[in-house]
């Protein structure tokens, strides 16, 4: 049996995963246009769990390694979609504990509180970007007119 020769490497999940493990994984994934929801066992926080070689593994971490590469030590797999049961690799990102906390804080306080200043900055950047593109269009049309006059 292949599984008997596989060694658990701590951080590495997929390197030790058998076909049966990934088959079990896909059986409990319900894909929607946005999130891929885990329909199997979930912990109290809503994170899906799968048992790999007798170890309970978070399915979003499993999904990350299945699609990308082994998770570097000390890094978390975070959800861009804030759906803890989601295993869509496009919604997952690698981050530190600090980055994850900042992300949560940013999302949680996006409407009110001290971070609204950040939102204001962003809005003004957007406006500046818009101005730039309008100016660009104006210049472009001017140079087009000049060219047209030359012809």
Determine the 3-state secondary structure of 55 from DSSP.
strand
Residue with tokens 């926080």: 45
Would you count residue 37 as binding Zn ion (CB under 5 A)?
no
Give the end-to-end CA distance of the chain in Å, rounded to a whole number: 79
Choice between 61 and 91, CB closer to Zn ion: 91
Q: How far is CA 95 from CA 9, 28, 71, 73, in A?
A: 21, 26, 10, 11
Would you count residue 140 as binding Zn ion (CB under 5 A)?
no
Tell me the closest approach of the beta carbon of residue 103 to Zn ion, in angstroms: 14
Query: From the CB of residue 147, how many other CB atoms can be counted at a distance below 10 Å?
Result: 9
Which is nearest to 62 in space by CA: 73, 74, 51? 51
When binding is defined by CB under 5 A, the residue of 83, 84, 100, 109 that contacts Zn ion is 83
Contact region with Zn ion (CB under 5 A), list: 34-42, 67-75, 103-111, 112-120: 34-42
Contact region with Zn ion (CB under 5 A), list: 6-14, 43-51, 77-85, 114-122: 77-85
Task: Give strand pairing partners of 78.
Answer: 93
When binding is defined by CB under 5 A, the residue of 17, 50, 88, 92 that contacts Zn ion is 88
Contact region with Zn ion (CB under 5 A), list: 15-23, 28-36, 51-59, 104-112: 28-36
Residue ranges in contact with Zn ion by CB under 5 A: 35, 81, 83, 86, 88, 91
């Amino acid at each position: 049996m292949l599984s008997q020769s596989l060694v658990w490497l701590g951080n590495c999940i997929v390197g030790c995963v058998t076909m049966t493990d990934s088959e079990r994984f896909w059986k409990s994934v319900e894909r929607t246009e946005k999130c891929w929801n885990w329909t199997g066992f979930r912990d109290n926080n809503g994170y899906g769990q799968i048992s790999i070689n007798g170890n309970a593994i978070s399915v979003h971490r499993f999904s990350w390694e299945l699609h990308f590469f082994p998770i570097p030590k000390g890094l978390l797999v975070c959800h861009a979609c804030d759906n803890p049961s989601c295993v869509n690799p496009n919604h997952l990102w690698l981050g530190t504990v600090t980055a994850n906390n900042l992300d949560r804080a940013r999302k949680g306080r996006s409407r009110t509180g001290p971070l609204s200043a950040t939102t204001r900055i962003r809005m003004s950047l957007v406006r500046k970007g818009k101005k730039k593109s309008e100016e660009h269009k104006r210049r472009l049309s001017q140079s087009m007119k000049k060219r047209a006059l030359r012809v």
